[in-house]
Amino acid sequence: MGLDIRLPIGSMFVFVGVLLTAYGAVRPHMSQSVGININLTWGVVLFVFGSIMVLLGKRGTRIVKNAATLPEPRASQRGH
């Protein structure tokens, strides 16, 4: 079937989330807005979103592989 698009996009979001979270943790004074560390907050949000996409992509791939191993139904079972 091919590559599930959720895997590479989710991986990208996880990577950017880790970078942004690390930058926000190391340099908290550089990204303060109204007392909120923007880089740290959005880094965590991107990491969580990317992780969810990767998990759903892996689950979808596993379901497709399991469905491909099921035997084809006979003509009498299809209702024809």
Does this model's pTM top 0.85? no
State the amino acid at position 14 in one-letter form. V
Report the b/e string of 39-68 with b at 16+ CB within 10 A.
bbebbbebbeebeebbeebeeeeeeeeeee
Which helix (H) or strand (E) segment holds residue 64: the answer is helix 38-68
pLDDT tens digits, 1-32? 567 788 999 999 999 999 999 999 998 887 77
State residue 32's pLDDT score: 78
